[in-house]
Amino acid sequence: MRISSIECGRVIAILAVMTIHVSPFAHPFDPTLWSSESYLWLSGIINQLCRFAVPLFFLCAGYFLQPKLSAGAPMSVAWRYCLPLLQLWLVWSLVYLLVPFNPLSAIEQGYLNSLNAQWQFQLGDTVNRWLVGGMIHLWFLPALILAVTLLAFCQWLGKPGLALMLGAGLYLLALLGGSYAKPLLGEEWVLLTRNGPFFSLLFVALGARLRQQQWQPSARSGWWLLLGGLALYGLEACVLRAFSGIPLTRHDFLLGSVPWAVGLFGLLLAHPDWGKGSWLARQSPKVLGLYCLHMMLVVWIFTFGPQNASILWELVKVPLLLVISLLVYRLLATLPATRWLLRTQ
């Protein structure tokens, strides 16, 4: 079952993820380049407006998997769904651990010497690395695997609603230990609550529940949920910044993420033919592969791109990353030795 509006939404979401990672008007390795208050606001707003993307991915996963889970043998269904994701996670983790972030430095200093410093960055966090893998963005894959497994287990127990309740509880814990930790607890948990099922399960379970109830929202209700959720999210982020000094870019999700993402998903469902036959719709099968590969290109963009504050460079970074990612995807898909890196089946 394919819905062209959701297919297009997934492509826009991967572009949003790329935007988060390439950080327009910010430089993670040299924050002084864009340290003025106006640029902090600009980069923060861009970053936060893209935070619909991962919740949308999780909603889609639950929505399209639910009929198979409810048809019988949910744990077997979950296994067949999760095994290719687990394989992708392991292989791409290995790729990111073995490919130098700075190939020129690897030539000058030696391959292993250059990787030693790189591995400290990738594997230095002993608490969270097991739910992340070889590169920071790969956390999405084990988070999705765990969410689908828990959803399937609740379905196997005959209590599909339990996954939604468990997801809501974990989500509140994630906020308590993450974005809301400083005002409520004084400091954040060592465990990064974006990882694992804390963030993912609620949205995957919500997607499944919406499919189970055959939710058919109107465009009006979708817009109300989306705008209301976006307003709540913005209010939370601004209050946390004003009273606790938490930067906008700290937040992966907030309370407002739920109505924001569900509203967007409902709006796409209300207009199923949006983008039908378009270039965007044709890119949809590439989304997971693009997600896995693009972060190496992000690193190289920061390593080899201009090291000064160039407005023109900041404007072209995102489209440049998209174009290069599509070219690398095409190259990997063409070569028999690398084609399997992009597949989940």
344: confidence class by pLDDT, cuts 50, 70, 90: low
Long-range contacts of 211-215 (CB under 8 A, 24+ apart): 211/62, 211/63, 211/64, 211/66, 211/67, 212/66, 212/70, 212/160, 215/266, 215/269
Give 110-129 as a DSSP string: -HHHHHHHHHHHHH--TTTG
Q: What is the pTM of this model?
A: 0.96
Terminal C-alpha separation, the chain: 16
| Helix (H) or strand (E) segment spanning residue 307 | none
> In whole angstroms, what is the distance from residue 115 CA to residue 22 CA?
22
Express each pLDDT in 4-34 by its tens digit.
Answer: 999 999 999 999 999 999 999 998 888 888 9
pLDDT bucket at 245, cuts 50 / 70 / 90: very high
Burial 79-95 (b: 16+ CB within 10 A, else e): eebbeebeebbeebbeb
The b/e string for 208-246 (b: 16+ C-beta within 10 A; e otherwise) is: bbbbbeebebeeeebbbbbeebbebbbebbeebbeeeeb
> Who has greater pLDDT, 123 or 296?
296
Of 99, 208, 89, 224, nearest in space to 160 by CA: 208
How many Å apart are CA 217 and CA 208, to the nearest integer? 15
pLDDT at 258: 98
Q: Which residue has the tokens 């080899």?
A: 304
Q: How far apart are CA 315 and CA 154, in angstroms?
A: 46
- Give dist(CA 60, CA 243) in Å, integer: 35
Backbone angles phi, psi at 26, to 5 degrees: -155, 155
Over residues 300-329, the mean pLDDT reads: 94
Torsion angle in degrees (nearest 10) through CA of 173, 148, 322, 51: -30
Contact assessment for residue 110 and residue 44, using Cβ atoms and an 8 Å cutoff? no
Would the pLDDT of 109 be above 90? Answer: no
**Is residue 345 scored above 80 in pLDDT?**
no
Asked if residue 80 lies in contact with residue 162, where contact means CB atoms within 8 angstroms, the answer is: no
Chain-centre distance for alpha carbon 93: 16
